[in-house]
Amino acid sequence: MDNNKLAQLLFPDVVNTPEYYEEKFPYRKLPNKAEVTRMAPSPTGFIHLGNLYSALADERIAHRNGGVFYLRIEDTDEKRKVDGAVETIINVLRYFDIEFDEGAGYADTDPQNAYGPYFQRQRVEIYHTYAKSLVERGLAYPCFCSEEDLAEVRKKQEDNKELTGYYGEYALCRNLTYEEIEEKINAGESYVLRLRSQGSPDREISFVDSIMGEIKLPENIHDIVILKRDGVPTYHFAHAIDDHLMRTTTVIRGGEWLASAPIHYELFHVLGFKMPAYGHTAHLMKFDEETGGKRKLSKRKDPELSLDYYRRDGYHPRAMKVYLLTLLNSNFEEWYEKFPDKDIKEFPFSIEKMSQSGALFDKEKLHNICKNELSKLDENEMYDFLYDWAKENAADKVDLWFADKEKMLSILRLYMGIGAKRRRKDFIFAKQILEMIGYFFEEKEEKEEFKLPADITSQVLVDYLESYDHASDNQAWFSNLKEIADRHGFASDMKAYKANPENYKGSISDVAEMVRIAVTGMSNTPDLWTIIHIIGEDAMREKINAVIK
């Protein structure tokens, strides 16, 4: 068979050669040890925590030594494409402050986009150039088998209890002659292009996976499809060419691709490319209350797998990043405790420290990290964060909450413990925060119950309003509360109360709690006097009067 003639028949329009592209995309000039990584999502519209987890790993690996992290869009599968999905991916990376240097999101004319285009659909000519070269070397051939032909092969293999697939003697189109091929093409038959696998079932490949360690797998023997009927490449073929020409050194990708590694190994080999280092990530896991064991986070069962979830509820991007780093590298937490004030970018990130068995997602831990990270903000940063969130996610409430900036800032100062001896850590995410402080702006729907009978509560509250003086400072206000306690049979002195609780209706703390619940709807809040002074005397009286009635 004249392979050149066949290549010309199949690819009459290809004008370039692989050498052309090798020259056009030279090795990158980067510092020693610098790595080139990428995020290569398919624009399916669903981007989840696992994607962010890998993206952060990619970003850290690239940037720890002055390398490059770029974004490539794997849009070869028309059926799975969703409008707006690329924007979503870019927005998510920007929102979580995961810096990428190159690729989709930048214009092709931008100087940093020298290795593009970064959308696979725009690279078809490049794929065809390499496919043609494989045909010229007898390493690829057209296959005209229909779905029915393939089903028949499969049935035969299953009946014979043999490995299913398109290989060896089952590869029906492997040995078509030039004349047969030409005839079919002239008759308008459609075809895919297949790799002529050189693999053998009794040989193994072995390589060191940066995360999983040493991997040994049987060689690929399948004549896999590299170009589909419409000439668009499969993932296997496209990723090999792209990662090579974009000069990727390190590929971090989902563990579901590990089984295909032998295909990629062969493709890199026949294409004459050096393999990048692969790191296959384990699935994020979750503690399963039903079984008491670990299970994979699932799209169907776990809303917290979706990144939308965190944006909708307003998790601070920095807290998410810190949390993901604790999942990514087991020694991050210790480092961060030791150097709480260092930029997290200084953490010596290591691929080897990524979990082989699947990092365990733990919401409580995430929440603790959120509390801690939010406690590092000042009131203005917190204000901006909440305001931005509310504009997007609670448009109907923005005017109510943010009409008076000074009021909001005083609430935040109080709740964050700014100026107090110790910072408070009540805040977790935007939605929870605004719910927590919502009573400053509108009546709470669900108020806590008063502990004492209604008539006693009313008597105390009436007295409180009668004796209230808005000019009193915190101390004088509290002394008045104690006097109220004494007048109504409550102990104003805690020691006296503890010694003989039976002599009293309750203590000063019960009295304070009545006022607290009446004003805020909650029994647990920061300093009540300050709250009253933020709300103002009239609003306080109105709230308490409503309870008395």
On whether the CB atoms of residues 219 and 199 are closer than 8 A, the answer is yes
Q: Which residue is it, tokens 């494409």?
A: 81
On whether the CB atoms of residues 173 and 142 are closer than 8 A, the answer is yes
Least distance between ligand GLU and beta carbon 94 (Å): 19
Among positions 42, 133, 329, 507, the unique one binding ligand GLU when judged by CB under 6 A: 42
* 72 alpha carbon, distance to own chain's centre: 17
CA distances from 155 to 147, 148, 164, 173, 224 (A): 12, 10, 9, 18, 18
Part in contact with ligand GLU (CB under 6 A); list of ranges 37-45, 142-150, 500-508, 530-538: 37-45
Residue 123 lies near ligand GLU (rule: CB under 6 A): no
Among positions 239, 244, 283, 318, the unique one binding ligand GLU when judged by CB under 6 A: 239
Q: Which is nearer to ligand GLU, 113 or 281 (CB)?
A: 281
Residue 40 lies near ligand GLU (rule: CB under 6 A): yes
On whether the CB atoms of residues 243 and 318 are closer than 8 A, the answer is no
Name beta bridge partners: 476.
none
CA angle 53, 382, 377 (to 5 degrees): 70
- The interface mask with ligand GLU, positions 251-270, x = CB under 6 A, is x-xx----------------
Q: Which residues contact 381 (CB under 8 A, 6 or more apart)?
A: none
Least distance between ligand GLU and beta carbon 139 (Å): 22
Part in contact with ligand GLU (CB under 6 A); list of ranges 26-34, 38-46, 264-272, 303-311: 38-46
- The interface mask with ligand GLU, positions 79-118, x = CB under 6 A, is ----------------------------------------
On whether the CB atoms of residues 89 and 311 are closer than 8 A, the answer is no
Least distance between ligand GLU and beta carbon 251 (Å): 6
Among positions 35, 59, 74, 510, the unique one binding ligand GLU when judged by CB under 6 A: 74
d(CA 89, CA 451): 51
CA angle 144, 149, 150 (to 5 degrees): 95
Listed residue (115, 92, 113) closest to 41, CA to CA: 92
Least distance between ligand GLU and beta carbon 42 (Å): 4
d(CA 442, CA 399): 12
Q: Which is nearer to ligand GLU, 251 or 461 (CB)?
A: 251
d(CA 378, CA 416): 8
Number of residues this chain uses to bind ligand GLU (CB under 6 A): 8
Part in contact with ligand GLU (CB under 6 A); list of ranges 194-202, 246-254, 286-294, 391-399: 246-254
Element (H, E) at 104: none
Residue 249 lies near ligand GLU (rule: CB under 6 A): no
Q: Which is nearer to ligand GLU, 80 or 431 (CB)?
A: 80
Among positions 18, 41, 50, 279, the unique one binding ligand GLU when judged by CB under 6 A: 41
> Footprint of ligand GLU on this chain (CB under 6 A)?
40-42, 74, 239, 251, 253-254
